[in-house]
């Protein structure tokens, strides 16, 4: 399938031409890409100076695109409490059209999932105004990192659909597939940077895909865990153990590209008013479900851990046909309690393989 | 140009027109949106809820206790529980608060048409059922016999006394019980389940609507099952912590369902498929 798709709509972008192409894009868009900073951390960053930025397309960035569409904290409204009453004022925000360049398949899949979350029941204006006018340029993963398991979640290492343009590193050049109309428009507009792909390029693309698929160091049996959850056969002891070890830090949820639970709270600024904020939240936090007066309908620890994994691996499969874990492995790296999703999958499947 | 997207989180200003003290902890706030034309066009159904904003307190979900058959006002009956509801109890007539909604799946009034309805409530739990009772009374011919069983802690805790009196006058069989008597009380003392002993509902045309604290809820479910009520004949409305009210923030998760969009009204048959503390605990 990957091969066939490449054959119909693919171009070549020489690596020597990449900066030139990005320079053109940066004139009309805000440019966000994974950049290695002076501490050697790779982070999705707004690029102001393209010449100074070291774009890193192989090592997975520490953050995902979540913060660009659902900021860790954002102001929804300001409010005033005066003699005339209590009223809310919308915050005027201009979101520049943005090109997200160099997005790995896991993070692209996560954006596609967030699109569903923020428009399934109701269209969320704050998310969608950031998402509208965004262009996604993906790059396939030739060398999955040690914690990666997107092959088990159906979200990588190569992406077949969802981005506007999809790049594959072929050494001295990228094979460029067109995913959506905005991608087609970019190629037409700046065709000077692109050349037609030949059969040998498409063959190299397929070969690269096969090799990438063989480079995963982890075998994570996500499908098996999904079946266990659906059949409700995960031993109670697994939930208890995981919940005892979870330190309630929220690191997994904050780093997770698909954890979109949020809270809404007010911050008083002075006697006459304040602001209403939306902030990231985590279903594993003990207070996530606690009601006024203290009653909590979810058993604080085991119920919360159960919710985290059941939502990602059972409920989202029921709703969307696929898990909302995209196999990026970030929670594996951040969890010091050993309660990340890979450990859960391993524990849930023990004795059933 | 992309289509403009409705600002779904923006509260609208509403004014307090009247406050009815139901007991020392519960008050009913009679509200109207300050925007007259919006207020005139505002529609909702029994069982739905509003998200209420109070200055510096964020938002809390409150079920609507009035009926849309009496347009012009929204009633919110509120028990002091947390910061926001305490602030509400400090409101005076003509003060303003923020409202957005209505949200949630309402009671299935079409399915309830023609049936005898047995309401079982404890404390503030009568608030969402009040919306159903009044809807039925305003369309009296559409529904069968109405029975209200209501449990309170003490006689002085009995809320909605004005409503109970009005309902009795309109032929609703209202029966009260208290956990602990006080001088002057000659009614029953004990759990609301005991009131069920005296009833002989026609099972094939009855539906029970329950709302109350978890302990009462489980006791009533057991009793109704023993009486022969099937799980499809029992409806309830679930209380959960909520932030967005529109199925996104997930604070109100219930084993894969969300109270805000899949509920808050559920049949017992639906709840039995879920792992929730109200049924397991």
* Per-residue pLDDT reduced to its tens digit, B171-211: 999 999 999 999 999 999 999 999 999 999 999 999 999 99
| Residue numbers in A near B10 (CB within 8 A) | 77, 88, 90
**Interface list for B 102-141 with A (CB within 8 A):** none
Q: Are strands A134-139 and A98-103 parallel, antiparallel or unpaired?
A: parallel
Chain A window 222-281: which residues touch B at a Cβ cutoff of 8 Å? 260-268, 273-274, 276, 278, 281
Interface list for B 208-237 with A (CB within 8 A): 214
Q: Which residue has the tokens 């119920």?
A: A303
- For residue B2, the model assigns a pLDDT of 58
A54: left (phi over 0), alpha (psi -120 to 50) or beta: beta
Q: Do B55 and A118 touch (CB under 8 A)?
A: no
CB A158 within 8 A of CB A170: no
Q: What is the mean pLDDT of residues A242-247?
A: 90
Nearest to A335 by CA among A221, A216, A246, A217: A246
pLDDT mean over B38-47: 96
Predicted TM-score (pTM) of this structure: 0.94
Rounded Cα distance between A33 and B207, Å, is 59
Interface touch A283/B250, C-beta < 8 Å: yes
Which residues partner with A88 through β-bridges? A79
Largest CA distance in chain A: 74
Q: CA-to-CA distance for A129 and B9, rounded, in angstroms? A: 14
Structural domains in chain B, CATH included, are 12-103 (2.40.30.10), 109-237 (3.40.50.80)
A336 touches B: beta carbon within 8 Å? no
- The per-residue b/e assignment along A296-306, b for 16 or more CB within 10 angstroms, e otherwise, is bbbbbbbbbbb
pLDDT band at A1 (very low <50, low <70, confident <90, very high): very low
pLDDT (0 to 100) of residue A87: 92
Within an 8 Å CB–CB cutoff, is residue B206 touching chain A? no
Does A85 sit within 8 Å of B34, measured CB to CB?
A: yes
Beta bridge partners of B145: none
Contact B58 A297 (CB under 8 A): no
Checking if the pLDDT of B75 tops 50, the result is yes
pLDDT tens-digit readout, A161-212? 889 999 999 999 999 999 999 999 999 999 999 999 999 999 999 999 999 9
Lowest mean pLDDT among A69-73, A196-200, B273-277: B273-277
pLDDT level of residue B281 (50, 70, 90 thresholds) = low
**Å between B77 CA and nearest CA of chain A:** 15
Whether residue A12 has pLDDT greater than 50: yes
What's the Cα-to-Cα distance from A20 to each of A55, A183, B106, rounded to whole Å? 14, 17, 58
Chain B residue with Cα closest to A297: B277
Quote the pLDDT of residue B280.
Answer: 78
Question: Mutate which of A266, A293, A300, A317 to disrupt the B interface (most B C-beta within 10 Å)?
Answer: A266
Task: Tell me which of A298 and A128 has the higher pLDDT.
Answer: A128
Q: What is the pLDDT of residue A287?
A: 86
Mutate to test the interface with A, among B9, B16, B122, B123 (most CBs of A within 10 A): B9
Query: Does the beta-carbon distance from A283 to B11 stay under 8 Å?
Result: no
Asked whether the predicted pLDDT for residue A343 surpasses 60, the reply is: yes
Q: What is the pLDDT of residues A252-311, one digit of tens each?
A: 999 999 999 999 999 999 989 999 999 999 998 888 888 887 788 887 677 888 999 999
- Give per-residue burial for A147-175: e unless 16+ CB within 10 Å, then b: bbbbbbbebbbbbeebbbbbbbbbeebbb
* Structure token digits, residue A153: 């979640």
Which residue is it, tokens 């304040």?
Answer: A274
- The closest CB to that of A289, out of B59, B96, B251, belongs to B251
Can you name the residues that pair with A99 across neighbouring β-strands? A31, A135
Task: Give the integer Cα–Cα distance in Å for A100 and A89.
Answer: 31
Residue that has been written with the tokens 């930025």 in this structure: A53
- B276 DSSP assignment: -
pLDDT of residue A294: 77
**Looking at beta carbons, which residues of chain B come within 8 Å of A297?**
214, 239-240, 254, 276-278
Question: Residues 58 to 87 of A: which have CB under 8 A from any B CB?
Answer: 76-77, 79, 81, 85-87
ipTM score: 0.92
pLDDT band (50, 70, 90) for residue A82: confident
Name the residue ranges covered by the structural domains of chain A: 2-77+88-213, 222-349
Q: Give pLDDT tens digits for B11-28.
A: 999 999 999 999 999 999
Quote the mean pLDDT of chain B.
95
**How many beta-carbon pairs below 8 A join chains A and B?**
136
Mutate to test the interface with B, among A114, A182, A264 (most CBs of B within 10 A): A264
CB-CB neighbours of B168 under 10 Å: 12
Query: Which residue in B has a C-alpha nearest to residue A292's C-alpha?
Result: B82
In the three-class reduction of DSSP (H, G, I as helix; E, B as strand; rest coil), residue A255 is classed as helix
Distances (CA, A) of B208 to A70, B158, B205, B221, B227: 43, 21, 10, 10, 11
pLDDT digits (tens, 9 = 90+) for A312-330: 999 999 999 999 999 999 9
What is the average pLDDT across B152-175?
A: 97
Closest residue, chain B, to A87 (C-alpha):
B13
| CB-CB under 8 Å, B58 with A265 | yes
Q: Contact B60/A292, CB-based, under 8 Å?
A: yes
Helix or strand run (H / E) with residue B235: strand B234-237
Q: What is the pLDDT of residue A5?
A: 45
- Measured in angstroms, the CA of A110 and the nearest CA of chain B are apart by 16
Measure the CA–CA gap between B153 and B165, rounded to whole angstroms.
19
Res A351: pLDDT: 55
B89: contact with A, CB 8 A cutoff: no
Contact: B57, A298; criterion CB under 8 Å: no
**Is A125 part of the contact surface with chain B (CB cutoff 8 Å)?**
yes
Asked if B239 contacts B271 with a C-beta cutoff of 8 angstroms, the reply is no
- Pairwise CA distance, residues A128 & A107, whole Å: 17
CA distance A311 to chain B (A): 7
Distance from CA of B78 to the nearest CA of A (A): 12
pLDDT of residue A2: 46
Instruction: Nearest chain B residue to A298 by CA: give it.
Output: B277
Q: Which of B2, B15, B56 sits opposite A266 (nearest CB)?
A: B56
Report H helices in chain A: 2-8, 18-28, 66-69, 105-117, 125-131, 150-153, 181-189, 199-213, 222-230, 236-245, 251-255, 302-310, 316-320, 330-334, 341-349
Contact A118 B248 (CB under 8 A): yes
Selected for mutation to probe chain A from B56, B84, B258 (highest A CB count within 10 Å) is B56
pLDDT digits (tens, 9 = 90+) for B94-139: 999 999 999 999 999 999 999 999 999 999 999 999 999 999 999 9
Which of A120, A303, A315 comes nearest B256 by C-beta?
A: A315
Alpha-carbon torsion angle A123, A127, A131, A136, nearest 10: -120
Read off the pLDDT band of B266 (50, 70, 90).
very high
What is the model's pLDDT at position A201? 96
Q: What percent of chain A has pLDDT over 70?
A: 96
Tell me the shortest Cα–Cα distance from B196 to chain A, in angstroms.
Answer: 27
Measure CB to CB from residue A86 to each of B10, B13, B59 and give the nearest one.
Answer: B13
Q: Report the alpha-carbon distance of residue B172 to residue A151 in Å, rounded.
A: 63
Pick from A237, A275, A209: nearest CA to A10? A209
Question: What's residue A304's pLDDT?
Answer: 87
């Amino acid at each position: 399938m990957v091969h066939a798709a490449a054959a119909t709509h693919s171009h070549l972008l020489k690596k020597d031409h990449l900066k030139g192409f990005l320079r053109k894009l940066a004139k009309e868009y805000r440019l966000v890409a994974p950049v290695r900073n002076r501490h050697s951390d790779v982070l999705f960053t707004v690029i102001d100076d393209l010449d100074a930025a070291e774009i890193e397309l192989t090592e997975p960035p520490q953050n995902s695109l979540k913060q660009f569409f659902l900021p860790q904290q954002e102001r929804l409204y300001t409010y005033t409490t005066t003699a005339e009453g209590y009223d809310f004022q919308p915050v005027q925000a201009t979101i520049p059209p943005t090109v997200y360049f160099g997005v790995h398949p896991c993070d692209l899949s996560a954006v596609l999932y967030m699109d569903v979350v923020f428009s399934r029941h109701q269209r969320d204006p704050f998310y969608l105004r950031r998402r509208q006018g965004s262009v996604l340029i993906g790059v396939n993963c030739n060398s999955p990192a040690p914690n990666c398991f997107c092959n088990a979640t159906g979200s990588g290492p190569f992406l077949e659909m969802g981005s506007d343009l999809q790049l594959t590193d072929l050494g001295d050049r990228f094979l460029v597939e067109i995913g959506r109309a905005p991608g087609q428009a970019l190629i037409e507009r700046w065709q000077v940077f692109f050349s037609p792909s030949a059969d040998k390029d498409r063959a190299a693309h397929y070969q690269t895909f096969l090799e990438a698929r063989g480079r995963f160091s982890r075998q994570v049996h996500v499908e098996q865990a999904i079946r266990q959850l659906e059949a409700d056969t995960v031993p109670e002891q697994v939930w208890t153990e995981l919940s005892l070890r979870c330190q309630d830090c929220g690191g997994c949820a904050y780093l997770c590209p698909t954890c979109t639970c949020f809270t809404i709270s007010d911050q008083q600024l002075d006697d006459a008013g304040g602001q209403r904020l939306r902030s990231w939240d985590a279903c594993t936090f003990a207070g996530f479900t606690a009601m006024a007066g203290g009653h909590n309908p979810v058993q604080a620890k085991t119920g919360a851990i159960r919710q985290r994994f059941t939502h990602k691996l059972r409920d989202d499969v029921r709703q969307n046909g696929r898990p909302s874990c995209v196999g990026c492995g970030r929670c594996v790296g951040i969890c010091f309690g050993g309660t990340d999703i890979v450990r859960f999958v391993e524990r849930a499947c023990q004795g059933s393989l | 140009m992309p289509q403009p997207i409705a600002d779904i989180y923006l509260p609208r200003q509403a004014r307090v027109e009247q406050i009815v003290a139901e007991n020392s902890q519960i008050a009913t706030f009679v509200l109207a949106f300050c925007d007259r034309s919006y207020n005139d066009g505002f529609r909702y159904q029994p069982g739905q809820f509003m998200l209420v904003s109070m200055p510096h307190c964020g938002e809390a979900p409150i079920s609507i206790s009035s009926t849309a058959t009496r347009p012009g006002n929204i009633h919110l009956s509120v028990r002091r529980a947390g910061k926001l509801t305490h602030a509400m109890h400090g409101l005076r007539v003509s003060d303003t608060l923020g409202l957005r909604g209505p949200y949630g799946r309402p009671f299935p009034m079409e399915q309830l048409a023609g049936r005898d309805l047995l309401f079982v409530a404890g404390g503030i739990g009568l608030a969402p059922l009040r919306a159903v009772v009044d809807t039925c009374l305003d369309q009296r011919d559409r529904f069968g016999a109405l029975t209200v069983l209501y449990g309170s802690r003490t006689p002085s805790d009995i809320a909605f006394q004005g409503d109970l009196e009005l309902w009795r006058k309109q032929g609703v069989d209202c029966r009260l019980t208290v956990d602990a008597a006080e001088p002057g009380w000659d009614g029953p003392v004990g759990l609301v389940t005991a009131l069920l002993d005296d009833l002989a509902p026609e099972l094939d045309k009855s539906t029970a609507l329950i709302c109350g604290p978890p302990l009462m809820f489980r006791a009533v479910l057991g009793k109704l099952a023993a009486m022969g009520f099937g799980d499809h004949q029992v409806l309830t409305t679930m209380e959960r912590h909520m932030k967005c009210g529109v199925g996104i923030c997930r604070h109100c998760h219930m084993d894969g369902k969300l109270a805000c969009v899949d509920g808050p009204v559920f049949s017992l048959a639906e709840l039995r498929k879920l792992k929730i503390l109200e049924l397991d605990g």
